[in-house]
Structure 1
């Protein structure tokens, strides 16, 4: 879980998640999931935050049933597809979900 202060400290990244949600045409549930997942997994290193945000968007969209491709999510956040691929399952599992087996 995260603290209310985490929301303030990561305002820039939450705005980036929202912009990516716009470009991916995600609904409010997917965006809310992505925000919660990101705030629950904020890395210490600033260089890891874009990839974590992208992976949170991908996982949040899966939870909401609004699947988007890893490539589309990565492009919306300006990271590589591999960055999303390496992180999304861990984020999903840490949140108590079982990743799809496809």
Structure 2
């Protein structure tokens, strides 16, 4: 869990996460997982935040068992699929989870 201060500081990014999740029709469980993954290690540089946000959404959808492709998340988040592909496993590992090995 993260502090209220973290949530307040990154509120614009969490609002963006909700908008992307709406476009993808993700469940509350996927949104919650994505928020936690994003907040656990927010990059300092603003230009990296959108890609990390998208990777967190993809990873959160995986955790929740929702079939969401990297391409669909990339389109909804307006990032490249490569931006997600290079970051999502790190999000899971940082949370202490083992990424799938497909």
TM-score class, shorter-chain normalisation, is over 0.9
Give the alignment's TM-score, normalised by structure 2.
0.96
Question: Tell me, which stretches of 5 or more residues in structure 2 are unaligned?
Answer: none
Distance 1:36 1:4 in 2: 12
User: Take 2:27 and 2:2, find their aligned partners in 1: how far apart are those partners?
Assistant: 23
Runs (4 or more) in structure 1 with deviation over 2 Å come to 1-4
Write the mapping of 1:4-83 to structure 2, written as runs, cut at 5 A.
4-83=4-83
Provide the TM-score with structure 1 as the length reference. Answer: 0.96
Cα RMSD over matched residues? 1.0
Give 5+ residue unaligned stretches, structure 1: none
Aligned to 2:101: 101
Q: Counterpart of 2:100 in 1: which secondary structure?
A: coil
Q: For residues 34 and 25 of structure 2, what CA distance do their matches in structure 1 show? A: 13
Q: Distance in 2 between matches of 1:65 and 1:34?
A: 13
